[in-house]
Amino acid sequence: MKNSMQEKFIENYCRTGNATQSAIDSGYSKKTARQKGYTLKKQFSNEISEIINKDISSHLPIALNAVIHLIESAESEAVKLSAAKDIMDRGGLKPVERIEQTNVDQMSLEEINRELDALDKLQIN
């Protein structure tokens, strides 16, 4: 069960994305706001995500209409093309990205290990 300060924190954080300032604005001490904001953000992360996702979903029609408006009325052909590509990408029609192949037979063990480390870092991010 949440108290009123926690409720205010969640509301403020969903609006600003700043945990420290949200803690201060919710009535927590400036002295401990950074740690308290971090703790509250972790504690209520599921609820925060749910609220933010609902907010984003409610604005999707507006964003889609803005992109369609660009396609239909922008003076710049580059803007029209970019907007059309964006809609197509998000509609599942994104072109396959080029995949770079590495010839492992010509690489040293050290080079192979560096490549593997780089790939691991990409997957983590």
Domain that holds residue 83: 59-95
Query: Is 60 exceeded by the pLDDT of residue 125?
Result: no
Task: Answer yes or no: is 85 within a domain.
Answer: yes
| Tens of pLDDT, residues 29-79 | 999 999 999 999 999 999 999 999 999 999 989 999 999 999 999 999 999
**How many structural domains is the chain composed of?**
2
Task: Answer yes or no: is 90 within a domain.
Answer: yes
Q: Are 71 and 84 spatial neighbours (Cβ–Cβ below 8 Å)?
A: yes
* Same domain assignment for residues 31 and 64: no
All residues at 6 or more sequence positions from 32 whose CB lies less than 8 Å from its CB, including other chains: 23
Q: Are 19 and 41 spatial neighbours (Cβ–Cβ below 8 Å)?
A: yes
Question: Is the pTM value of this prediction over 0.75?
Answer: no
Task: Answer yes or no: is 107 within a domain.
Answer: no
Q: What percent of the chain has pLDDT over 70?
A: 92
